[in-house]
A and B are shown apart, each in its own frame.
Chain A
């Protein structure tokens, strides 16, 4: 049983140096990011689209996830069983992700010619020609609804969902799937979403592994040339900042689940590095952070307590989370608020700043030590339009951050008047 799960958020994982990234635009219009490495006989490919949950049409929450989830449920002339069997027979692994901004598939395959070529044909087929058969759609909607109803009984899921709704009132980032919205989805909805969102000129292709540049060019074009060419607007309405408030939700659990936070920064915000470094001291650095020290180590209030910024295309959340015995929830919240207020006011000490910088800079090699990790960076660089030198620049950017910059960034981005608190399973 793990002592702690690592809560160093998404922010702290995106960094590395000394890896040569090739970038080009395929004839299809797809943007391609490639690292050539022959150390292992494998190839990893990820293709992402601006097709995350924020692009669910009004009343159709759940569409992005279901569309991505059913890409391999029948495509071209193949049914879902055939696709599954062929992938397994090749030893290939196909997986998918859907977050607020993006959705996509990734494939890991052996780099031997027969396995690789066959796996890439399958990937191309499921990306370009999904059928979304009615029978599978009916089944999967029923499973999603059952899972949704189940998660609506779990305190962690209730808290996460409600927090999202409360900090993003009237914004797609705050929309969550309901039984009604899932129930309303039709095959036409999925086909339209796919046609307009999975288009070649918005695709980001990340490749790493045992292929040459010339082969990577061929693969990227092969995977994207038959993608749809529909049109869609990628803009979202502006995020409106919430007004400070607290929501208490009854639940019989032994522990209160607490979320505190607000919308903060986009992925390209100039405050990114200052917040990354600062949050390490506040609640991102695990045991060496102030939140863990005060809440867990000194008082034994919680097993897990953390804070993170999760930058998105638009203002992504800043969030503090913890779970504590419900009788002491009020006390724990008071403590967390005082740690936060104090940190925003004074920022890290010079010693804390140095410790954060040491971890982030010295840990550079840990972030580039596997193809799987690098693939994630390639996708993020491509999707968010980060500079190709982003990874190489990272240590210098971290080193340049000052205490004053951290303090100023927190004052700008973590304003008490916008602070939302959600508590599930409370006696309040």
Chain B
């Protein structure tokens, strides 16, 4: 196997790719990556407030506020934000995760000053009214019905998280429980905004055909006057050690069963000193990181036990890290057989490790994707933004890549041995229910947190 030679240094350290950073006196950090390849620019504003910062009874408020951020400020009427972006020829959107909430615009570069003014305006001047809230919360409920209540696999995923975590806030769904949405008020959203939308709890990431020193001036002009505020205390809410396997089953309309298995594993805390998170990243990639990876090769194409099979691990999270395996059994095979087959794949690595060839393959993919990523300004902004959201510094992204390249087959085998035991495992399954063409009874439709019944 020829070792893949890749000119990493050229792409991570050439002049135009080097990000620049400043911090305003109110605590807002501004990160700029100059990329002059096209006359466009991405602006992202990230707030370190996500669903994990919510309290019981208020689930979904981070996401609801994200919707309301488009509903007008002291200067702008509701909907005007979208109009300005659209007329500039741009696109905008926002997303809420467990760890953060982020807003972005992709615009021709001439429109950037206006976009910065718009984001600064809604960081400080959002007008929240009962009228706008009561209409928008209905939209959020429709979103929940669409993404979760009528989606069998989403229900399983929701059940998995609420089962595997008892103390940690990752147990709550980002979109919120339907009952919490029904009982949310415009004042809850306002409290959330006042608590978390402060410059010292945010950072701006800009990638595009820009001059960083000019951006820093615009940032000072637009965001500089927004005062810093003290933030609510964040309790760690660490999950106590799990002592025994947990199982949960969901019944919902579907044809194929679905299985998810999640183990509690360490996350990345120290970029330089940690080794296990990198080994877990490589393990996930050996299982499901490319077209030659083990799960598809062995279970879908080989033994044909699975219709689909996957693995996932994210080392860079604010909360608890999990290692996920999931899949659908092939026609005529059972959830039990699939679970045993997935366990057997882990066992094979515990017993026999992974090959040098597999390891090289994973590293090749990582390096190639670093080059391909340069074709998308959004991908570059996302990478820095997500890494920062987990509490790291963008400067360490390159170090993380170096550390990933240092992972050995022994490292991978040892994390497989150490972390995949049943005592920290949670299994959530879908028991597919045949479609009943009769309309639901009224109770079920009025309270859609209950999966449709038959």
Interface segment among A97-105, A268-276, A285-293, A376-384: the answer is A285-293
User: Given known contacts A252-B435, A252-B452, A300-B142, is B63 in contact with A88 (CB within 8 Å)?
Assistant: no
Interface segment among A226-234, A319-327, A338-346: the answer is A319-327
- In chain B between 48 and 76, which residues have their CB closer than 8 angstroms to a CB of chain A? 63, 66-67, 70
B344 adjacent to chain A (CB < 8 Å)? no
Tell me the nearest residue of chain A to B88, going by C-beta.
A362
Query: Contact between B89 and A297 (Cβ–Cβ < 8 Å)?
Result: no
A139 adjacent to chain B (CB < 8 Å)? yes
The residues of A that contact B79 with a CB separation of less than 8 Å are 287-288, 293, 297
The residues of A that contact B82 with a CB separation of less than 8 Å are 286-288
The residue from B67, B83, B134, B436 contacting A288, defined by CB atoms under 8 A apart: B83
B253 adjacent to chain A (CB < 8 Å)? yes
Query: Contact between A325 and B70 (Cβ–Cβ < 8 Å)?
Result: no
The residues of B that contact A152 with a CB separation of less than 8 Å are 255
Query: Contact between A252 and B439 (Cβ–Cβ < 8 Å)?
Result: yes
Query: Contact between B377 and A369 (Cβ–Cβ < 8 Å)?
Result: yes
The residue from B106, B331, B364 contacting A146, defined by CB atoms under 8 A apart: B331
Query: 1/0 per residue B362-374: CB within 8 Å of A?
Result: 0011011001101
Query: Contact between A3 and B377 (Cβ–Cβ < 8 Å)?
Result: no
Q: How far is the CA of A301 from the CA of B436 in the complex (A)?
A: 26
Q: How far is the CA of A3 from the CA of B65 in the complex (A)?
A: 10
Tell me the nearest residue of chain A to B36, going by C-beta.
A39
Query: 1/0 per residue A353-376: CB within 8 Å of B?
Result: 001001111111110111110000
A36 adjacent to chain B (CB < 8 Å)? no
CB distance from B208 to the nearest CB of A (A): 9
Query: Contact between B146 and A88 (Cβ–Cβ < 8 Å)?
Result: no
A80 adjacent to chain B (CB < 8 Å)? yes
User: Given known contacts A40-B371, A362-B89, is B331 in contact with A297 (CB within 8 Å)?
Assistant: no
Q: How far is the CA of A40 from the CA of B63 in the complex (A)?
A: 37
Query: Contact between B70 and A1 (Cβ–Cβ < 8 Å)?
Result: no
Q: How far is the CA of A384 from the CA of B201 in the complex (A)?
A: 50
Q: How far is the CA of A147 from the CA of B440 in the complex (A)?
A: 25
Q: How far is the CA of A147 from the CA of B438 in the complex (A)?
A: 24
Query: Contact between A355 and B87 (Cβ–Cβ < 8 Å)?
Result: yes
B376 adjacent to chain A (CB < 8 Å)? yes
CB distance from B416 to the nearest CB of A (A): 21
User: Given known contacts A143-B307, A359-B89, is B301 in contact with A80 (CB within 8 Å)?
Assistant: yes
Q: How far is the CA of A270 from the CA of B127 in the complex (A)?
A: 45
B375 adjacent to chain A (CB < 8 Å)? yes
Query: Contact between B440 and A84 (Cβ–Cβ < 8 Å)?
Result: no
CB distance from A271 to the nearest CB of B (A): 23
- In chain B between 375 and 412, which residues have their CB closer than 8 angstroms to a CB of chain A? 375-377
Tell me the nearest residue of chain B to A322, going by C-beta.
B142
User: Given known contacts A250-B438, A288-B82, is B87 in contact with A359 (CB within 8 Å)?
Assistant: yes
A155 adjacent to chain B (CB < 8 Å)? yes
- In chain B between 421 and 451, which residues have their CB closer than 8 angstroms to a CB of chain A? 432, 435-440, 445, 448
The residues of B that contact A3 with a CB separation of less than 8 Å are 66-67, 70, 93-95
Tell me the nearest residue of chain A to B89, going by C-beta.
A362
The residues of B that contact A94 with a CB separation of less than 8 Å are 291
Query: Contact between A361 and B95 (Cβ–Cβ < 8 Å)?
Result: no
Q: How far is the CA of A218 from the CA of B40 in the complex (A)?
A: 33
The residue from B89, B361, B374 contacting A88, defined by CB atoms under 8 A apart: B361
The residues of A that contact B38 with a CB separation of less than 8 Å are 365, 368-370
Tell me the nearest residue of chain A to B142, going by C-beta.
A303
A-side interface residues, number (CB < 8 Å): 77
Query: Contact between B137 and A300 (Cβ–Cβ < 8 Å)?
Result: yes
The residues of B that contact A358 with a CB separation of less than 8 Å are 86-89
A296 adjacent to chain B (CB < 8 Å)? yes
A254 adjacent to chain B (CB < 8 Å)? yes
The residues of A that contact B137 with a CB separation of less than 8 Å are 300
The residues of A that contact B247 with a CB separation of less than 8 Å are none
Query: 1/0 per residue B98-113: CB within 8 Å of A?
Result: 0000000011110100
User: Given known contacts A139-B301, A251-B435, A254-B150, is B371 in contact with A288 (CB within 8 Å)?
Assistant: no
The residues of A that contact B135 with a CB separation of less than 8 Å are 297-300
- In chain A between 243 and 261, which residues have their CB closer than 8 angstroms to a CB of chain B? 250-255
Query: Contact between A81 and B95 (Cβ–Cβ < 8 Å)?
Result: no
Q: How far is the CA of A327 from the CA of B445 in the complex (A)?
A: 9
Query: Contact between A42 and B372 (Cβ–Cβ < 8 Å)?
Result: yes
The residues of B that contact A411 with a CB separation of less than 8 Å are none
B225 adjacent to chain A (CB < 8 Å)? no
The residues of A that contact B437 with a CB separation of less than 8 Å are 250-251
Query: Contact between B139 and A363 (Cβ–Cβ < 8 Å)?
Result: no
The residues of B that contact A250 with a CB separation of less than 8 Å are 437-439
The residue from A8, A90, A255, A366 contacting B146, defined by CB atoms under 8 A apart: A255
The residues of B that contact A254 with a CB separation of less than 8 Å are 145, 149-150, 440, 445, 448, 452
User: Given known contacts A88-B361, A89-B361, is B142 in contact with A325 (CB within 8 Å)?
Assistant: yes
Query: Contact between B445 and A146 (Cβ–Cβ < 8 Å)?
Result: no
Query: Contact between A88 and B365 (Cβ–Cβ < 8 Å)?
Result: yes
CB distance from B175 to the nearest CB of A (A): 6
Q: How far is the CA of A285 from the CA of B453 in the complex (A)?
A: 38
Query: Contact between A1 and B175 (Cβ–Cβ < 8 Å)?
Result: yes
Q: Which of B97, B140, B145 has the most CB of A within 10 A?
A: B145
Q: Which of B331, B436, B439 has the most CB of A within 10 A?
A: B439
Query: Contact between B146 and A323 (Cβ–Cβ < 8 Å)?
Result: yes
User: Given known contacts A153-B253, A255-B145, A303-B146, is B292 in contact with A91 (CB within 8 Å)?
Assistant: no
User: Given known contacts A3-B70, A88-B292, A89-B361, is B375 in contact with A253 (CB within 8 Å)?
Assistant: no
Tell me the nearest residue of chain A to B434, going by C-beta.
A153
The residues of B that contact A366 with a CB separation of less than 8 Å are 40, 89-91, 106-108
User: Given known contacts A40-B371, A365-B108, is B95 in contact with A146 (CB within 8 Å)?
Assistant: no
Query: Contact between A91 and B4 (Cβ–Cβ < 8 Å)?
Result: yes
Query: Contact between B150 and A255 (Cβ–Cβ < 8 Å)?
Result: yes
Tell me the nearest residue of chain B to A6, going by C-beta.
B91
User: Given known contacts A155-B150, A355-B83, is B375 in contact with A41 (CB within 8 Å)?
Assistant: no
Q: How far is the CA of A296 from the CA of B307 in the complex (A)?
A: 37
B96 adjacent to chain A (CB < 8 Å)? yes
A149 adjacent to chain B (CB < 8 Å)? yes
A302 adjacent to chain B (CB < 8 Å)? yes
Q: How far is the CA of A287 from the CA of B78 in the complex (A)?
A: 11
User: Given known contacts A146-B331, A365-B108, A371-B375, is B95 in contact with A359 (CB within 8 Å)?
Assistant: no
A349 adjacent to chain B (CB < 8 Å)? no
Q: Which of B70, B256, B292 has the most CB of A within 10 A?
A: B292
B290 adjacent to chain A (CB < 8 Å)? yes
Query: Contact between A89 and B4 (Cβ–Cβ < 8 Å)?
Result: yes
Query: 1/0 per residue A64-104: CB within 8 Å of B?
Result: 00000000000000001100110111111110000000000
B39 adjacent to chain A (CB < 8 Å)? yes
Query: Contact between A41 and B331 (Cβ–Cβ < 8 Å)?
Result: no
Q: How far is the CA of A152 from the CA of B135 in the complex (A)?
A: 33
Using a CB–CB cutoff of 8 Å, the interface residues on chain A facing chain B are 1-4, 6, 8, 39-42, 80-81, 84-85, 87-94, 108, 110, 136, 139, 142-143, 145-147, 149-150, 152-153, 155, 250-255, 285-288, 293, 296-304, 323-327, 355, 358-366, 368-372, 427
Please list the 4 inter-chain residue pairs (A to B) with the smallest Cβ-Cβ separation, ordered nearest first. Answer: A362-B89, A300-B138, A91-B368, A363-B89
Q: Could you show 7 A-B contacts with beta carbons less than 8 Å apart?
A: A84-B291, A89-B4, A94-B291, A250-B437, A252-B438, A288-B83, A297-B79
Inter-chain pairs besides A254-B149, A288-B82, A301-B138, 8 sampled, C-beta below 8 Å: A93-B372, A146-B307, A153-B255, A255-B146, A286-B86, A287-B86, A297-B135, A303-B140
